[in-house]
Homo-oligomer: A and B are copies of this chain.
Amino acid sequence: MVPNDRVLKQVVCDESTGVLSAAQANSLVHVSCSTVHPDTSRELAALHEANGLRFVGAPIFARADGVARRLASFCVGGKDGAVQSALPVLEANCGAGGVFRFGEDAGAGNVVKLAGNFMIASAIESCAEALSLAEKSGLEREAVMSMLHSTIFDCLIYRGYGDRVAQRCHHPGEPLVGPGFQLDLGLKDVTLALDVAAKVQAPMPVASLLRDRFLGATARGRGHMDWSAIGLSVSEDAGVDVSESLALPPKKRKLAAGGAETREVA
């Protein structure tokens, strides 16, 4: 996995070190798990084919510790033969149930990944708004979130990000956050989703709103924090002082008894 489209293209196309230049073996399969623009995967698939190689776009939902526990999910697009060749590698990271195929379009998996990351960001925002309503009505943020993610929103995304937003715990390295998913990358992914949305003419008003959220957070110097830190802006907009959440070093922060979410995504 590489962080963005530019790096991926370089990894493939660099004249001296690129995949295309190095690989002489016919029918080699390049499985690309990065979160990039679907058109990048489509271009690269064509380039591979022109060079006698094969390309599978297989972006992954999982954090490093999730991969280690074989809990990843792959969104796969690519030609049948190439995907068949790639399956053993993919299934080594997730078991047979973690590979989801979306047809022969090499960019299809990237669309699903961008759609999913948009949905995660949207869930973070809606948790933050709901908790702001609750907190300013005199309720305890943690108690409200705990009720919601143990009942109707009892899934990974709401349990993990819900508690972080409730406790305003967004520093990578804190037990509740773990390695985190960098806010700068969240901005990149929402921007990619909106770029595809413009191209295929699919208005996404919440995604547009989220892009402004991410831009505002990076403008405040939070690009290195976990992307759940967009929740801080929601609190600030409601006149809540979040300086403690920003300033204190991770080890001094209040943390839930349960510790870190062990399976993490995006």
Contact = CB atoms under 8 A, between A and B. Distances in A.
Nearest to A125: B206
24 contacts: A61-B152, A102-B140, A105-B138, A107-B137, A111-B137, A111-B139, A112-B139, A112-B144, A114-B133, A115-B131, A119-B127, A119-B130, A119-B148, A120-B152, A129-B202, A133-B202, A136-B200, A136-B202, A137-B200, A152-B157, A152-B266, A154-B156, A203-B234, A203-B238
A34 B74 CA distance: 43
B205 A209 contact: yes
Given A115-B130, A129-B207, A151 B202 contact: no
A201 B134 contact: no
The majority secondary structure among interface residues of chain A is helix
B205 A136 contact: no
- What is the copy number of this chain in the assembly? 2
Interface of A: 38, 61, 73, 75, 98, 100, 102-103, 105, 107-108, 111-112, 114-116, 118-120, 122-123, 125-127, 129-140, 143-144, 147-148, 151-158, 193, 196-197, 200-207, 209, 234, 237-239, 265-266
A137 B206 contact: no
A43 to B, nearest CB: 15
Contacts of A265: 152
B133 A118 contact: yes
A135 B204 CA distance: 13
Of A102, A119, A137, A265, the most chain B CB neighbours within 10 A belong to A137
Contacts of A155: 152-155, 158
Nearest to A145: B115
Given A112-B139, A119-B153, A144-B102, A133 B206 contact: no
Contacts of A152: 61, 73, 116, 120, 155-157, 265-266
A125 B205 CA distance: 9
Contacts of A157: 152-153
Contacts of A131: 115
A126 B207 CA distance: 8
Contacts of A114: 133
Contacts of A134: 111-112, 115
A73 B146 CA distance: 13
A120 B157 CA distance: 14
Nearest to A157: B152
